[in-house]
C-alpha cells in the first residue's frame, strides 16, 4: 500500500513538472489560522527588538501544499509588519534573511514595504544574513541601517535572470505541435513551443538590463559604493562574507548575537531590552534561530522544497535570484 502511495505522489510530481501546473489543493484542516501572538525570546528590559525571518524563495504566490494552502511569503511578511506597526515599544526590526532571492516583483514589493514601514515608524532596521542572502535576498536588505553577514554567508548575485522553459525540440521528436493564431508578430514571444527569434533575444535582453539597472541603482543609493566596487559587483557573481564586506555590500561579519546587540545600540536601548517574535503557535525551547513564520505541515508537505526547482523551471519569468540555490 505504501509503494502505491509513493508511486501516486511521484506521478503527480511528474505531471505538474511537465504541465507547469501546481500541486492540487486538498484541505483537511481548514484555512483558519491562529492570531499572531508575541513571544519573548530574550531580555526583560524596556523596548523591543522584533525578529522577523525571511526564509526561502521570495514569491507573491500562495504556497499550495498537498494538505493545505498557505499565504505567500509577501503576504505573510507584510502582515507581520502591519502587526508590528501597532506596537510603539518596538524600536528595532531585525530581519533574519536566508534566501537566494525570488521573482523581481515579489522582491520589489518587500523592499517597498520594508522601506515604508521604516519611514512610518522610525524603527531601526538591521539585517542578519544567514546561509544565503543573494540577489532578491540582498535586494530586500537594502533598506537596512546596518547589515551583518554570518562568516559563511553567500551574498551578492546583484542582477536579473530571465528563465523560460523550452520544449520545442522534445515536441518535434515526439511528433507534436501547437497551432497558434496571434494578433501580432511577437504576441507569443517567450513561448516554450518555439525558439525565440533574433529580434526577440534582443528584446528580452533589453528588459533584463532595464531591471538590472533598477537593482544596481538601488544598491548605489543605499550602499554608496565606489565606481570600482560597482564594476566588480556588476558581474552579478556571489561573494563570501569577508569579500562582501570589502566591497561595501555588508557592514560587519558576525553572528546573530552581534546583530541583536547592534540593533539595540542603534535604537538607543539598554542591553537587556526584550527580543521578541510573532508566532501563531507556541514553540517549546524557543530561540532567535527559529523561523519567525511557523508553518504546520506533515510529511508530504515537507517534500515541497524539493519540488520548488521543478515548479520554477516550468514557469517563464524575470527573477532576482541566484539560480544555483533555487528551491533553497
| pLDDT tens digits, one per residue of 144-203 | 999 999 999 999 999 998 877 776 676 667 777 677 777 877 787 777 777 788 888 899
Query: How high is the pLDDT of residue 60?
Result: 86
Which sign, positive or negative, has the C-alpha torsion 69, 70, 73, 79? positive
Question: Average of pLDDT values for 12-22?
Answer: 48
Q: What is the pTM of this model?
A: 0.80
Q: Which of 53, 59, 107, 135 is catalytic?
A: 135
Instruction: Give the number of residues written for the chain.
Output: 328
Question: Distance (Å, rounded) from C-alpha 17 to C-alpha 180?
Answer: 23
User: Binning pLDDT at 50, 70 and 90, where does residue 90 land?
Assistant: very high
Question: Distance (Å, rounded) from C-alpha 79 to C-alpha 85?
Answer: 10
pLDDT tens column, 258-292: 999 999 999 999 999 999 999 888 887 788 888 65
Question: Distance (Å, rounded) from C-alpha 46 to C-alpha 271?
Answer: 10
pLDDT tens column, 205-215: 999 999 999 99
Indicate the pairing of strand 238-240 with strand 273-279: unpaired
72 has catalytic annotation: no
Residue 234 has pLDDT above 60, yes or no: yes
Query: How high is the pLDDT of residue 27?
Result: 40
| Percent of the chain topping pLDDT 70 | 77
Q: Which of 187, 226, 234, 282 is catalytic?
A: 187
Question: Average of pLDDT values for 25-51?
Answer: 77
Residue 86 has pLDDT above 90, yes or no: yes
Question: Distance (Å, rounded) from C-alpha 137 to C-alpha 260?
Answer: 19
The H or E element containing residue 99 is strand 90-99
What residues pair up with 252 in beta bridges, in sequence order?
A: 148
Q: In Å, how far from its chain's centre is CA 195?
A: 30
DSSP 8: H
Residues 6 or more apart from 234 whose CB is under 8 A from it? 158, 159, 216
Q: Which CATH superfamily is domain 32-170+193-325 in?
A: 2-enoyl-CoA Hydratase; Chain A, domain 1 (3.90.226.10)
Question: Distance (Å, rounded) from C-alpha 279 to C-alpha 299?
Answer: 21
CA dist 246 to 126, 138, 243, Å?
A: 19, 16, 5
pLDDT tens column, 96-142: 999 999 999 999 999 999 999 999 999 999 999 999 999 999 999 99
Residue 68 has pLDDT above 60, yes or no: no
245 has catalytic annotation: no
Question: Distance (Å, rounded) from C-alpha 115 to C-alpha 55?
Answer: 19
- The half-sphere exposure of 168 on its side-chain side, counting CA atoms within 13 A, is 10
Amino acid at each position: 500500500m505504501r509503494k502505491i502511495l509513493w508511486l501516486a505522489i511521484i506521478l503527480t510530481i511528474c505531471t505538474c513538472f511537465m504541465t507547469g501546473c501546481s500541486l492540487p489543493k486538498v484541505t483537511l484542516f481548514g484555512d483558519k489560522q491562529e492570531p499572531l501572538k508575541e513571544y519573548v525570546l530574550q531580555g526583560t528590559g524596556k523596548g523591543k527588538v522584533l525578529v522577523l525571518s525571511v526564509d526561502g524563495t521570495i514569491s507573491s504566490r500562495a504556497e499550495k501544499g498537498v494538505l493545505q494552502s498557505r499565504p505567500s511569503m509577501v503576504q505573510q511578511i507584510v502582515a507581520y509588519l502591519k502587526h508590528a506597526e501597532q506596537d510603539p515599544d518596538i524600536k528595532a526590526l531585525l530581519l533574519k534573511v536566508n534566501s537566494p532571492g525570488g521573482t523581481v516583483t515579489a522582491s520589489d514589493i518587500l523592499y517597498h514595504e520594508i522601506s515604508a514601514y521604516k519611514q512610518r515608524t522610525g524603527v531601526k532596521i538591521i539585517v542578519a544574513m544567514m546561509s544565503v542572502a543573494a540577489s532578491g535576498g540582498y535586494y530586500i536588505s537594502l533598506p537596512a541601517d546596518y547589515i551583518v553577514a554570518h562568516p559563511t554567508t553567500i551574498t551578492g548575485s546583484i542582477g536579473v535572470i530571465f528563465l523560460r522553459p523550452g520544449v520545442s525540440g522534445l515536441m518535434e521528436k515526439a511528433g507534436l505541435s501547437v497551432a497558434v493564431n496571434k494578433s501580432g508578430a511577437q504576441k507569443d514571444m517567450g513561448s516554450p513551443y518555439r525558439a525565440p527569434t533574433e529580434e526577440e533575444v534582443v528584446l528580452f535582453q533589453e528588459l533584463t538590463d532595464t531591471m538590472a539597472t533598477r537593482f544596481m541603482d538601488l544598491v548605489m543609493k543605499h550602499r554608496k559604493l565606489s565606481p570600482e566596487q560597482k564594476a566588480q559587483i556588476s558581474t552579478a557573481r556571489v561573494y563570501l562574507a569577508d569579500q562582501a564586506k570589502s566591497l561595501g555590500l555588508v557592514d560587519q561579519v558576525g553572528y546573530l548575537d552581534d546583530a541583536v546587540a547592534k540593533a539595540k545600540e542603534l535604537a538607543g536601548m539598554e542591553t537587556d531590552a526584550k527580543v521578541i517574535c510573532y508566532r501563531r503557535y507556541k514553540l517549546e525551547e524557543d530561540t532567535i534561530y527559529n523561523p519567525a513564520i511557523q508553518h504546520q505541515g506533515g510529511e508530504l508537505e515537507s517534500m515541497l522544497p524539493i519540488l520548488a526547482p521543478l515548479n520554477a523551471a516550468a514557469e517563464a519569468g524575470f527573477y532576482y535570484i541566484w539560480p544555483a540555490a533555487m528551491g533553497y
